[in-house]
Amino acid sequence: MQTDYKSKRLNLLKKGQKGIIHAVFSRFGLMLILLVVQFLMLFSIFQWFEEFLPHILGGTALFTVVMVIYLLNSRINPTAKITWLIAIMLVPVFGVLLFAYTQSDIGHRALKVRMNQIIAGTKESVPQSEIVMGRLKEENPGVALLARYIQRSGCHPVYGHTAVTYFSLGEKKFEEMLRQLEAAKHFIFMEYFIVDEGLMWGRILEILARKASEGVDVRVMYDGSCEFALLPRDYPKRLRSLGIKCKTFAPVTPFVSTHYNYRDHRKILVIDGHTAFNGGVNLADEYINERVKFGHWKDTAVMLKGEAVKSFTVMFLQMWGILEEKEEYEHFLSFPALPVETAKGYVIPYGDCPLDEDKLGERVYMDILNRSLEYVHIMSPYLILDGEMETALKFAAERGVDVKLMLPGIPDKAVPYALAKTHYASLIESGVKIYEYTPGFVHAKVFVSDSREAVVGTINLDYRSLYHHFECATYLYGVDCIEEIEADYQDTLGKCRRVTPDMVRKEKWTVKLTGRLAKVAAPLM
């Protein structure tokens, strides 16, 4: 029987033509076209309207001043304002057209309305236990206030009775993931940013196809960027032929697509309403070190068993429902969560939506930094900070808190790597300790503080995660595995090199120049 599934999978899911052409017609393609438009317009002006050139230049200058005043009074992030001001002042036609295009949000108007409707309609799907909240308030009023803030953004209650298992590597998560998938009896929900064919996805897919044939409700959703990077455009149809329900979030649409930024960066697996996985690990072989791309791949994840799993069930159904399909939340939430009475501490699964005004991911991180007393230890693959986050990191260090940042030693992208280094000098001067993982690439997104609280999830320290992507994470307070998270951090620290001021000064001039030039456009990256 297993051989039949393998054969069917290989026949149905052979790699086909990718949607690379769609990348050409996405935001990057539009930017090139707008630049060409500006060049042609300027050339035409100089050729055909030479005698009116002073009036045209005067009008352009006046228009630029109006746009500058508008931007300074807008509610855009202050760092992003600088980027747009520079773009509009240097290339007015191109800058204004691109600004109008991104702010009009052509590709997201319907999405925003739909998401707001779904969140409003499902915000009370899992009510907050006032007993749990009251107990947390007695133990730590500051964390209770953070919990109240997280809850206002969606259906994100604070839970007790949830056991948490921490995985220090992607391969450890993968092993447990297979065991839990084999035990599924009712439903399997999978929402991942990246799905790529290989050993990892192949093993998972064989189980999913078999479970679907047994009557388990199997649903898979992945981000639309996979269509022109990794998977054929008809991949959902191929999965449906195996009995697996599949949706692509935000496929890239020529020219009208502003989905370059609003990606579904979440990684969620929910099994039968009682088990959930969250963390940085996608469904591709490099995440389990089966394929080497940038040295050793360091990633992390958590498995939840108990009441907090309900929030991940709701988060998945909310994203699935964006694609115009009514969901029966009560049905899937009726499956018993199997509370773990002996589990200590509190758990808050939460999602961050780029279509509202709450920058939840960033503010949770900042709250941890501001309440820290002894240490905050951080893993992140990227470091592209706005002024607020940089200030929070520096302020914590200046208060005497041991702030450590662990970043990749072997980067996956040259420009973000150069951008990260533009922050090094300022952070180090304030006492922040920066380390680079010499064996390879850190993809983990971890905050751990004072041996009492931690966050493990999908949220990077960059503009995309903090402002532009759909994200999710698990906040932990007082749970047993926090000691394991800190122990893993210390163990990994032994494989890192500490960045010194001398190393920053001696960095290659090409890296310095790349970072400084790229910083102009950092909020748009």
Quote the radius of gyration of the chain (alpha carbons, Å): 24
- Which residues have a Cβ under 8 Å from the Cβ of 158 and sit 6 or more positions away? 128, 132, 133, 136, 144, 147, 150, 151, 346, 347, 348
Question: Is the model's pLDDT at 292 over the cut of 90?
Answer: yes
35-52 mean pLDDT: 59
- Pick from 250-254, 278-282, 312-316: least confident: 250-254
d(CA 414, CA 297): 17
For residue 266, is pLDDT > 90? yes
CA distance 406 to 427: 13
| For residues 404-428, average pLDDT | 94
- CATH superfamily of the domain spanning 360-524: Endonuclease Chain A (3.30.870.10)
**Mean pLDDT, the chain, integer:** 85
User: How many CB atoms within 10 Å of residue 484?
Assistant: 17
- Distance between CA atoms of residues 224 and 232, nearest Å: 11
Average pLDDT of 493-521?
A: 90
pLDDT at 7 over 90: no
CA distance 4 to 7: 5
**Both tokens assigned to 255:** 């020219």
Q: Quote the tokens at residue 160.
A: 């007790």
Confidence at residue 191, expressed as pLDDT on a 0 to 100 scale: 97
Start-end of CATH 3.30.870.10 domains in the chain? 110-349, 360-524
CB atoms within 10 A of CB 228: 18
pLDDT score for 59: 64
| pLDDT for res 343 | 92
The pLDDT value given to residue 57: 61
pLDDT higher at 514 or 284: 284
Task: Using pLDDT thresholds of 50, 70 and 90, give the confidence band for residue 155.
Answer: confident
Q: In which band, very low, low, confident or very high, does the pLDDT at 256 lie, cut at 50, 70 and 90? A: very low
Provide mean pLDDT across the span 161-171.
97
Whole-Å CA distances, 3 to 7, 10, 209, 210: 6, 11, 12, 11
**Mean pLDDT score, 11-39:** 49
CATH fold for the domain made of 110-349: Endonuclease; Chain A (3.30.870)
Angle between helices 78-90 and 92-104 (to 10 degrees): 140
- 421-478: per-residue pLDDT in tens? 999 999 999 999 999 999 999 999 999 999 999 999 999 999 888 888 999 999 999 9
Lowest mean pLDDT among 165-179, 247-261, 384-398: 247-261
Closest CA to 434 of 408, 404, 470, 456: 404
Q: What is the pLDDT of residue 27?
A: 45
pLDDT at 525: 61
Lowest-pLDDT range, 65-79, 412-426, 479-493?
65-79
| 29 has pLDDT over 60 | no
The whole-number pLDDT of residue 434 equals: 98
Give the residue, 226 or 387, on which the prediction is more confident: 387
pLDDT of residue 166: 98
Number of other CB atoms surrounding residue 437 within 10 Å: 24
Sheet with 162-167, side-by-side order of all strands: 162-167, 301-306, 275-279, 267-271, 187-192, 217-223, 245-249
Section 285-310 average pLDDT:
96
pLDDT digits (tens, 9 = 90+) for 76-110: 767 676 677 777 777 676 677 667 666 666 656 66
Interstrand relation of 402-408 and 433-437 (parallel, antiparallel or unpaired): parallel
* 430 three-class SS: coil
**CA angle centred on 317, ends 153 and 328, rounded to 5°:** 115
DSSP 434: E
Both tokens of residue 222? 């992945």
pLDDT of res. 258: 47
